[in-house]
Structure 1
Amino acid sequence: MFSVLFEVQPKPEKWDEYLGSAKMLRPELEQIDGFVDNIRYKSMQRKGWILSLSNWRDEKAVVRWRTTQNHHLVQQMGRDDILETYHLRVGEIFADNQLPAGLKLLNQRNDETEIGEGTMITIITATRPSGHPSNITACSQFLGLDIYSGDALVDWDLCDAVLTPGDMCLQLVWKDCGAVKYFEDGERMLLPETHRIRHVRVIRDYTMLDRREAPQYYPAVSRAADPHQH
């Protein structure tokens, strides 16, 4: 299985237009052979950022979606008008404690990003219990952030689902596979079984400003040339 972690920052005045474009594409997305699911989350610590987390049976399914005409047109519109910036990571899921029925984890790719700051991502999702505090500290601890304190944790973000608030997502970006193994061998055991834990090997990592690992050509946006970049 593959995951696509697409983090976007719509321009403030284009927020509704971004969500409308995503809603328009949804019926076509669901018809793609190999599409599994897609959930959008709002970042709780980076104002104005959205994580679109999609999962796929294999890399071929990702390619099918990328090459559809409407998706390409919306991509172009996003780059030209709707988005301030974005960060996209594509990776292979190599561990999942709640694998959907009928799907398998197959080792299809062994390569890793060569430019990304982190090569592994742990995705932890769970529903916040009713009455549980909704602040960043309480929610991040509920999902396990306070469990790990090593310096191999490159970055993290905590998000809340756009359509179903209370469905939380924590991303832990690791320097390498050794950090993931440490997490698996010890700290992960402290998390409730209700938490879904996935580990992703990042294959491609690129942004609007740096497209060295992007699978198709678009000119990289220059910060100096674009007043919206910051």
Structure 2
Amino acid sequence: MPYYTIFEGTVHPSKTSTSDKFYSTLAPHLRRQPGLVEEINYLNQNPHDSMLLSSWVSEEALTKWQTLPIHLRIQKAAREGVFSSFRIRLGWESESATSRMTEAPGQFMVLYQHPKGSAHGSNNTNSMEHLLRDGCDASEILRALLDHAVWWTETHVLHVSGWPDVATVEKFENSLERVPGDWLRRIAVARDYTGIHRREAPEKTEPDSEKRL
């Protein structure tokens, strides 16, 4: 069962070059990491915001990446001096509730991506109503929405939305106006943490402070 990590972060404006250096250092290690399926970088209208979506063959494969010594050192440095804020959500791609879900009350994410040239266009608004079929009760469906962000690449737009349970996810998915070239993935969230609230951050060994990045 594929395992996903969704990293959304905002870099301090004065730390852009440091952030670029960290990513350039880590990227070759990430792409060689056993178990990586795919890695995609997204942007939004704030030049200091970015999102990295990666998928893995298993949670164990991701954990090995998270605890790689060079990754630990750069994570610590970035957390303390590069990002003004960030949020990380991790979980399994799932078609239904499973026993491996988070203990928090039913958190799900839906990743919906469509081409910029599709019927949905390149609309970067935070509203999701334009994604839904005509005639459906958008207000009822979106009332359950926990959070929503829009990201894009040069060719595609990605909507990342949070939902409280399977029923509301299915209601949203069944009301989507699907278009050619799109894809949809449902994620049962296992961990959700930020730079400040780290109760659900994976346990790990602190990096060797004597080693240089």
Give the TM-score normalised by the residue count of structure 2.
Answer: 0.81
Would you say the 8 A contact 1:128–1:139 is kept in 2? no
Counterpart residue number, 2:23: 22
Q: Which residue of 2 aligns with 1:104?
A: none
Tell me, in whole angstroms, the C-alpha distance in 2 between the residues paired with 1:12 and 1:4: 24
Q: TM-score, normalization: structure 1?
A: 0.76
Alignment size in residue pairs: 201
Distance 1:178 1:16 in 2: 44
Cα distance change of structure 1 residues 138 and 202 upon mapping to structure 2, 3 Å threshold: closer
- Letter of the 1:179 partner, please give it: T
2:52 counterpart SS class? strand
Give yes or no for the alignment of 1:174 onto 2:163: yes
**1:110 counterpart = 2:100:** yes
Consecutive aligned runs of 4 or more in structure 1 exceeding 6 Å deviation? none
Q: Which residue of 2 aligns with 1:223?
A: none
Instruction: Describe the shift of the 1:47–1:14 C-alpha distance in structure 2 as closer, same or farther (beyond 3 A).
Output: same
Contact 2:9 2:87 in 1 (8 A): yes
Structure 1 gap ranges (5+)? 96-106, 219-230
User: Which amino acid counterpart does residue 144 of structure 2 have in structure 1?
Assistant: A
> After superposition, what is the alpha-carbon deviation per residue over 1:19-49, rounded to whole angstroms, capped at 9, x for unaligned?
33112211111121110111111134x6632
Sequence identity percentage: 26
Contact conserved, 1:7 with 1:52, CA < 8 A, in 2?
Answer: yes
Q: Name the amino acid aligned to 1:24.
A: T
- AA at the equivalent of 2:151: C
SS of structure 2 residue aligned to 1:153: coil
Q: What is the CA-CA distance between 1:133 and the residue it aligns to? A: 5.9
Partner of 2:150: 158
Preserved contact between residue 126 and residue 143 of structure 1 (Cα < 8 Å):
no
Structure 2: runs of 5 or more not aligned: 206-213
Q: Deviations over 1:148-194 (max 9, x none)?
A: 43211111000112xxx23221111111111112123x213x21142
Is this contact kept in 1: 2:35–2:56, CA < 8 A?
yes
Contact 1:65 1:71 in 2 (8 A): yes
Is residue 2:196 matched to residue 1:206?
A: no
Two-structure CA RMSD over aligned residues (Å): 3.1
